[in-house]
Chain A
């Protein structure tokens, strides 16, 4: 999680890759159907035996793709469940995935905003104050070795004991997770101007603030956006995990947990796919904002 910033960035699918991606996705879909047959066959054979019915291979395959609680639901079952809970259910209902998705999204965005702000402030301090850099940076890196996702329930319980309930504790988890890539990316970015440019500012007799706003900040923006794409994705993961403890009532994480308690596999899968779509949408949105901002600044389109 910590070092995800150095992983190759999330690039959109370029036009040349559309066909291979479609083929590979289709292959995965076929694999999924085959795996559903393979995993659910035992249960289906038992069910036929209990009914005392004769069955053919065709019956078996059809049966494995239409079970109530399969080990692995077929893709069309998940799609049908998602359609039912997203489109056909009123968004005020407790069964609507839109409602649960909104609960998760709101804490994701709040935590993301706070984490980004904290990350930028820390990075500015680290770049300008030498003692801060030497003492704080190693600890910021060490802070990520604490498996925060694992102590999320504790944070939620403790903050609940103080009287903080609902949105804030969940957002705190997201904040803790996403400030890190922002700090690391921004420290890199604010140091990106080369010596020649810094000297030029000095010859212009620019003040510290002027140097910051006219040179360091614009130079750091591409680095910031690369970090933000990573940060928003882990904010979402943080928000989902923060919904697990103390039997959270709402949110995609709560849907996962409820589904696993009652063996509702189709519900688990639809919550999972919805979360994945939400993550992809958030990262895509970040890329769009990045492109717009960099273009407005006269950078490369």
Chain B
């Protein structure tokens, strides 16, 4: 309890200092006698905040909920502090907006251009990413089942699938734009090709995950191939399949955005980023980046949540006592 009190005291002091610093930066230099005083106090505040974080990181509680709150608070406060430093430095040192807009400007842009961002999000994420992700993952899964049925095919495909994960697959984007036109189907095609191989390799590996004993048990039950697949080997492969789904959730967004550099209609996240860079509207570009990061994290988080619900039996979850 003592450590917690000390940590909170440090952090509250740092917070108060941060608010004063932000206020003085935005109202002008007359609050501080000279600017070096501002930088010195920001440095001191950072040291104090770090001290508070170190103390909080060492906090141990018997109450699991308190412990988890403390564990979540550390990275959250660290992130907030980084944003504060970003704001103070960009505003206080008059960093040109072309170089790095301040977080305040980016947030303002998020609200003022919400309609444009929403249209881009629909074009890139809801159409290209989701369609390509679904098709690519399903295709990889089905080919993995086929390869599992035909061992010769498996031995031929697997090394090629492993090799494909090292190749710059994003490069097929210009070809897809030629085949499927400028609109979202060409982006979806790139996403399909990018997500296919991780799913194939992981599913094949997962289908081999069930132990010999379990398989022999099903053999003694005279289970057919499909029965043992559905009731034993697919459930055992679930962690691997989810691993691929998680990898693909990040790959899909990157693939769709990069594919938009090779020709798009006048809407989409990749299109917006590349045109606004040319016009030096960096706050808009950063707003798109924030949108992409939030969308990507949320997508990943949803898949991870589904995994936790469906594979609760797996040792990696049971050990945590969650």
Report A's interface with B, CB cutoff 8 A. 1-4, 6-13, 16-17, 20-25, 39, 71, 130-131, 133-139, 142, 144-147, 149-151, 153-154, 157-158, 161-162, 229-230, 233, 236-237, 240-241, 244-245, 252-253, 256-257, 259-260, 263, 265, 268-269, 271-272, 275-276, 279-280, 283
Contacts and interface: CB of A to CB of B under 8 A. Distances in A.
**A-B residue pairs, 4 tightest by C-beta:** A24-B156, A260-B174, A20-B156, A150-B257
A257 B258 contact: no
B98 A1 contact: no
A45 B251 CA distance: 39
A151 B253 CA distance: 12
Nearest to A269: B175
Interface string B58-94: 1000000000000100110111001000000000000
A173 B166 CA distance: 17
Interface string B169-182: 01110110111000
30 contacts: A3-B247, A7-B202, A10-B162, A10-B165, A13-B159, A17-B156, A21-B159, A21-B160, A22-B156, A25-B160, A131-B50, A131-B53, A131-B74, A134-B74, A145-B296, A145-B297, A147-B250, A149-B258, A150-B258, A151-B289, A237-B168, A245-B274, A252-B171, A253-B171, A259-B174, A272-B171, A275-B168, A275-B171, A279-B168, A283-B166
Please report whether the interface of chain A is mostly helix, strand, loop or mixed according to DSSP. helix
B34 to A, nearest CB: 27
Interface residues of B, number: 69
The residue among A25, A133, A236, A268 with the most chain B CB atoms within 10 A of its own CB is: A268
B236 to A, nearest CB: 16
Contacts of A257: 174, 262
Nearest to B255: A149
Contacts of A241: 170, 258
B247 A4 contact: yes
Nearest to B285: A154
Contacts of A133: 57
A21 B155 contact: yes
A60 B163 CA distance: 35
Contacts of B270: 150
B289 A10 contact: no
